[in-house]
């Protein structure tokens, strides 16, 4: 069976209370040491027993931990009492960052290069080359996509022209058949079969659509600059 839930309350028996205090104190100090080592934290632990006996642990020194605690506590209290000071500090930090970005932008455009060392100029040159490489890659990608889209449209128009040519040819054949049937039923004109076809051609020439097949064109992928 598992252990039951321990009720956290004062232990009435003095002997049991002292034994529990000794065990828990050692365990607490052990946990504090582990926290300081594993997390690189500065830990200060102070314990007073009910008999006013002092037990303490500090990862560096107790004096340093207390001074750091007092300083941090005072700064927090000042920020609570004077929030404008914190806003002013953040504004100063943002102004410094903005000035640094503006200076970097000027240097990238070839301005304010005085005072830069050869190493700084080399780093600046590397940044510009990386930027140009990215711009060229983006340009080539856009051009390639445009060529693919134009090729797709060309093929679509070519297919439409073929379909229209097929329909025109079909209409032409239907017209020839209609003329042949019309002249075959009429014996008054005495037209021969060749004359029937000529008449159909003449009639068809008036409505025939002139469709041009698109010339085959080859698109070359733009060479890298």
For residue 10, what pLDDT is reported? 87
Note whether residue 152 is domain-resident.
yes
Identify whether residues 178 and 124 lie together within a single domain: yes
Q: Which two structure tokens, joined as six digits, stand for 81?
A: 């009492």
Note whether residue 73 is domain-resident.
yes
Q: Which two structure tokens, joined as six digits, stand for 26?
A: 């050692």
Identify whether residues 55 and 90 lie together within a single domain: no
Note whether residue 220 is domain-resident.
no
Note whether residue 153 is domain-resident.
yes
Strand runs labelled E in the chain: 44-48, 54-58
Give the domain-ending residue among 185, 201, 220.
185
pLDDT band at residue 199 under the 50/70/90 scheme: low
Q: Which residues contact 79 (CB under 8 A, 6 or more apart)?
A: 85, 86
Note whether residue 213 is domain-resident.
no
Identify whether residues 107 and 145 lie together within a single domain: no
pLDDT band at residue 198 under the 50/70/90 scheme: low
Looking up tokens 């080399």, which residue turns up? 122
Contact (CB, 8 A) for 124 and 116: yes
Q: Residue 217: pLDDT above 50?
A: no
Note whether residue 180 is domain-resident.
yes
Note whether residue 42 is domain-resident.
yes
Total domains in the chain come to 3
Identify whether residues 165 and 142 lie together within a single domain: yes
For residue 214, what pLDDT is reported? 47
Identify whether residues 68 and 102 lie together within a single domain: no
Buried b (16+ CB within 10 A) or exposed e, 46-79: eeeeeeeeeeebbbeeeeebeeeeeeeeeeeeee
Give the domain-ending residue among 114, 130, 156.
114
Identify whether residues 39 and 72 lie together within a single domain: yes
Q: What pLDDT digit, counting tens, does each position of 28-54 carry?
A: 999 999 999 999 999 999 999 888 899
pLDDT band at residue 26 under the 50/70/90 scheme: very high
Q: What is the CATH number of the domain that holds 37?
A: 3.40.1810.10
For residue 3, what pLDDT is reported? 63
Identify whether residues 164 and 175 lie together within a single domain: yes
Buried b (16+ CB within 10 A) or exposed e, 6-17: eeeeeeeeeeee
Identify whether residues 57 and 88 lie together within a single domain: no
Q: Residue 209: pLDDT above 50?
A: no
Note whether residue 154 is domain-resident.
yes
Identify whether residues 43 and 93 lie together within a single domain: no
What is the domain range of residue 106?
82-114
Give the domain-ending residue among 66, 93, 114.
114
Identify whether residues 75 and 130 lie together within a single domain: no
Q: What pLDDT digit, counting tens, does each position of 124-160 carry?
A: 888 888 888 899 999 999 999 999 999 999 999 999 9
Identify whether residues 25 and 53 lie together within a single domain: yes
Identify whether residues 99 and 126 lie together within a single domain: no
């Amino acid at each position: 069976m598992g252990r039951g839930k321990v009720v956290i309350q004062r232990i009435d028996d003095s002997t049991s209370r002292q034994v529990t205090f000794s065990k828990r104190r050692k365990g607490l100090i052990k946990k504090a040491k582990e926290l300081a080592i594993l997390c690189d934290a500065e830990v200060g632990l102070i314990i007073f027993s009910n008999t006013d006996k002092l037990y303490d642990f500090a990862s560096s020194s107790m004096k340093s931990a207390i001074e750091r605690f007092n300083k941090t506590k005072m700064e927090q209290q000042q920020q609570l009492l004077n929030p404008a000071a914190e806003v002013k500090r953040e504004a100063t930090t943002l102004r410094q960052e903005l000035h640094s970005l503006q200076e970097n932008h000027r240097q990238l455009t070839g301005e304010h290069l005085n005072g830069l060392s050869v190493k700084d100029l080399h780093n600046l040159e590397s940044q510009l080359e990386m930027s140009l490489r990215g711009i060229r890659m983006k340009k080539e990608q856009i051009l390639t996509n445009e060529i693919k889209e134009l090729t797709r449209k060309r093929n679509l128009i070519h297919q439409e022209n073929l379909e229209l040519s097929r329909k025109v040819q079909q209409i032409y054949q239907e017209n020839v058949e209609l003329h042949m049937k019309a002249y075959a039923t009429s014996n008054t004109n005495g037209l021969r079969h060749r004359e029937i076809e000529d008449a159909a051609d003449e009639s068809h020439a008036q409505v025939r659509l002139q469709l041009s097949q698109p010339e085959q064109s080859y698109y070359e992928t733009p060479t890298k600059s």
